[in-house]
Amino acid sequence: MNKLFFPALFHKAEEGGFWISFPDIPEWLNEDATLLGVNFSQVLQEALIQKIYSR
C-alpha cells in the first residue's frame, strides 16, 4: 500500500483554540480545531474531498 503524507500547520488562534492549514491545499482551512478535540485524519479527508470535487 502506498502512503501519502500531507503536512499540516497548526496555528494558535488569538481568541483561543487553534486552526489548521495544509500547505498542499492552501484554499482549505479548519478554524474549529483544538489539539485535544479534533480528528486530524477526518479534517484532512474533508479537505481532500473538497479539493477533488472542486475540480
Residues pairing with 29 in the sheet: 21
Establish if 7 belongs to a structural domain. Answer: no
User: Could you tell me if 44 and 35 are in contact, meaning their C-beta atoms sit under 8 angstroms apart?
Assistant: no
Alpha carbon separation from 1 to 4, 16, 33, 40, 52 (Å, rounded):
10, 39, 29, 21, 21
**Is residue 13 in a domain?**
no
Q: Is residue 1 part of a domain?
A: no
Tracing cell 475540480 back to the chain, one arrives at 55
In a domain, 12, yes or no: no
Tens-level pLDDT at each residue, the chain (55 residues): 777 777 888 777 787 777 777 787 776 665 655 555 566 677 777 777 777 777 6
- Is residue 6 domain-resident? no
Q: Number of folded domains in the chain?
A: 1
The secondary structure element, H or E, covering residue 33 is strand 25-33
Residue 48 structural domain: 18-53
Instruction: Tell me, yes or no, whether 45 lies in a domain.
Output: yes
Looking at residue 32, its pLDDT comes to 57
30: in domain: yes
